A and B are shown apart, each in its own frame.
Chain A
């Protein structure tokens, strides 16, 4: 087995991106993701890449837009209220079909909120990261290892679809340290080849090719054509849906959670099983595309209740669950928010309440 190293989530994210061939990072400081730009500032010069501390989030996301359009693997990161400032840039990148990767290390909100962890940007991340109704693949890691694996993969997904990809994590994952096994470092040749693969669309500064100038826009029916094309692309994402189903074979109560809440829920499922309670967990790994089918296919004669576990008040993911379950199975909530962390005990108490209600 490869050697495991003990890394902070933010640093692991930056190292994974570097190994995936990322050679440009622009960002603006905000807690709890400062270790991402800090790490890139040190790491990019070592691999011939570029690190820019932008003068603002707006500047940084537009630098990402520009860099990614040259075909270079490029990334940015911010947290919650900073991500709000990315909205325009992200929407423009979706319009121009730019293969960019960015990370939201969520903190409490709304507004400036709290620097402590939260999961309050779910709707923003999965439904409307900017104007215009575009969609993105949104990956939600639950361990530092998954942060590594998903960031590494995000660049491939972004390149495949020529569309931005968001990694949605939170301040717990960003600041905690865990053992990780790092993926292989892409060689300079591989990095160059990845850049070359985008050459048909790349804006290289002096010779824009054909109509692909990286400008979003169109005349006449141009935009509708764009939207029809992207809508077709979104349909191909059915194959990209990823979900973890834990002890679901005979589950009577189901904990539904993503990211940090899911790893806590899993422990509680194990504990309830020891008590003879048939508990299971569904964890969306891609929160966009959401695993609607997994919830829609739950058999109400077996599954008596669902507990939506989120660090958000009011609940957000719950509405995707409701959309799939259509009232056939009762859904209850176990929530924290504003920077307050869910603990094992709270999720256990939430599960017991659900059990009392439905079993």
Chain B
């Protein structure tokens, strides 16, 4: 089975890191095929950024899909730009701190809300909004086992071990929110 995900937001929200963390962890800790494809403009912080992750137990064809199984939007413009690419019955994850679920102009998709910007501020780790959202995603979809991501976080912060625990905690907070809306 193949699963197509797009993550979109402002540059600086950790959109690429979220996609890379998911896909690299999947590469390292599973036998699944996985691809990561970034797409971004010339601007860094503040510009728009999005990436595609495909996870499959078969060979992966296009690393980019416009009939998505899952769409994560970290900001309003991304919702409006990409909502039409989500397939009917697909999962829409919104950063509800800055995106209003009422703006979702479709009733054939499942909306999973998580105020990740606020949550990251609440735990004094404002940059961890992407890790929280990754937790929400994994909790709601079981795209990969949660342990895969935890291993991935440990690997990513190997050289900054003091960051492992706060990020694992952030991930777990997201995981609970995701599971609750499964």
Per the bound structure, the CA–CA distance linking A175 and B39 in Å amounts to 9
Which residue of chain A has its CB nearest to the CB of B41?
A115
Contact in complex: A177, B35 (CB < 8 Å): yes
Q: Does B176 contact A (CB under 8 A)?
A: no
Contact in complex: B24, A263 (CB < 8 Å): no
Contact in complex: B37, A176 (CB < 8 Å): yes
Instruction: Take A175-B37, A179-B33 as given contacts and tell me if A341 and B64 are in contact as well, using a CB distance cutoff of 8 Å.
Output: yes
Contact in complex: B59, A263 (CB < 8 Å): yes
Contact in complex: A264, B61 (CB < 8 Å): yes
Number of A-B contacts (CB under 8 A): 60
Q: Does A342 contact B (CB under 8 A)?
A: yes
Contact in complex: B62, A263 (CB < 8 Å): yes
Question: Within 8 Å CB of A260, what residues of B?
Answer: 62
Residues 13-25 of chain B, each 1 if its beta carbon lies under 8 Å from chain A, else 0: 0000000100110
Which residue of chain B has its CB nearest to the CB of A3?
B28
Q: Does A343 contact B (CB under 8 A)?
A: yes
Number of contacting residues on A, CB 8 A? 22
Per the bound structure, the CA–CA distance linking A4 and B31 in Å amounts to 10
Residues 1-43 of chain A, each 1 if its beta carbon lies under 8 Å from chain B, else 0: 0001110000000000000000000000000000000000000
Contact in complex: A172, B61 (CB < 8 Å): no
Question: Within 8 Å CB of B63, what residues of A?
Answer: 172, 176
Contact in complex: A343, B28 (CB < 8 Å): no
Per the bound structure, the CA–CA distance linking A260 and B60 in Å amounts to 11
Per the bound structure, the CA–CA distance linking A265 and B64 in Å amounts to 14
Contact in complex: B59, A267 (CB < 8 Å): yes
Q: Does B38 contact A (CB under 8 A)?
A: yes
Question: Within 8 Å CB of B59, what residues of A?
Answer: 263, 266-267
Q: Does A118 contact B (CB under 8 A)?
A: no
Q: Does A268 contact B (CB under 8 A)?
A: yes
Q: Shortest distance in angstroms between B118's beta carbon and chain A's nearest beta carbon?
A: 31
Contact in complex: A343, B27 (CB < 8 Å): no
Contact in complex: A6, B37 (CB < 8 Å): no
Residues 194-218 of chain A, each 1 if its beta carbon lies under 8 Å from chain B, else 0: 0000000000000000000000000
**For chain A residues 90-146, which have a beta carbon within 8 Å of chain B?**
none
Question: Within 8 Å CB of B38, what residues of A?
Answer: 175
Q: Does A178 contact B (CB under 8 A)?
A: yes
Residues 62-90 of chain B, each 1 if its beta carbon lies under 8 Å from chain A, else 0: 11111100000000000000000000000
Per the bound structure, the CA–CA distance linking A260 and B64 in Å amounts to 11
Q: Does B6 contact A (CB under 8 A)?
A: no
Q: Shortest distance in angstroms between A221's beta carbon and chain B's nearest beta carbon?
A: 52
Per the bound structure, the CA–CA distance linking A172 and B67 in Å amounts to 18
Contact in complex: A345, B61 (CB < 8 Å): no
Contact in complex: B23, A177 (CB < 8 Å): yes
Q: Does B171 contact A (CB under 8 A)?
A: no
Question: Within 8 Å CB of A264, what residues of B?
Answer: 61-62
Return the contact of B64 from the options A179, A268, A270, A343 (Cβ within 8 A).
A343
Q: Shortest distance in angstroms between B30's beta carbon and chain A's nearest beta carbon?
A: 10
Which residue of chain A has its CB nearest to the CB of B38?
A175
Q: Does B137 contact A (CB under 8 A)?
A: no
Which residue of chain B has its CB nearest to the CB of A144?
B35
Contact in complex: B20, A177 (CB < 8 Å): yes
Which residue of chain B has its CB nearest to the CB of A268?
B61
Q: Does A316 contact B (CB under 8 A)?
A: no
Instruction: Take A267-B61, A267-B62 as given contacts and tell me if A172 and B37 are in contact as well, using a CB distance cutoff of 8 Å.
Output: yes
Q: Shortest distance in angstroms between A47's beta carbon and chain B's nearest beta carbon?
A: 23
Contact in complex: A6, B24 (CB < 8 Å): yes
Q: Does A344 contact B (CB under 8 A)?
A: yes
Q: Does B34 contact A (CB under 8 A)?
A: yes
Question: Within 8 Å CB of A267, what residues of B?
Answer: 59-62
Per the bound structure, the CA–CA distance linking A178 and B27 in Å amounts to 8
Contact in complex: A4, B27 (CB < 8 Å): yes
Per the bound structure, the CA–CA distance linking A268 and B67 in Å amounts to 15
Contact in complex: A263, B60 (CB < 8 Å): yes
Instruction: Take A177-B36, A179-B33 as given contacts and tell me if A344 and B65 are in contact as well, using a CB distance cutoff of 8 Å.
Output: yes
Per the bound structure, the CA–CA distance linking A290 and B65 in Å amounts to 30
Question: Within 8 Å CB of B67, what residues of A?
Answer: 344-345
Q: Shortest distance in angstroms between B23's beta carbon and chain A's nearest beta carbon?
A: 6
- 22 residue pairs A–B, Cβ–Cβ below 8 Å: A4-B27, A6-B27, A172-B37, A172-B63, A175-B37, A175-B38, A176-B37, A177-B23, A177-B35, A177-B36, A177-B37, A178-B33, A178-B36, A264-B62, A267-B61, A270-B58, A343-B62, A343-B64, A343-B65, A344-B61, A344-B62, A344-B65
Please provide the 3 A-B residue pairs with the shortest distance between their CB atoms, ordered closest to farther. Answer: A267-B61, A6-B27, A177-B36
Beyond A177-B23, A267-B59, A344-B62, 7 additional pairs, beta carbon < 8 A = A172-B64, A175-B38, A177-B37, A178-B35, A341-B62, A341-B64, A345-B67
Residues of chain B whose beta carbon lies under 8 Å from any beta carbon of chain A:
20, 23-24, 27-28, 33-38, 58-67
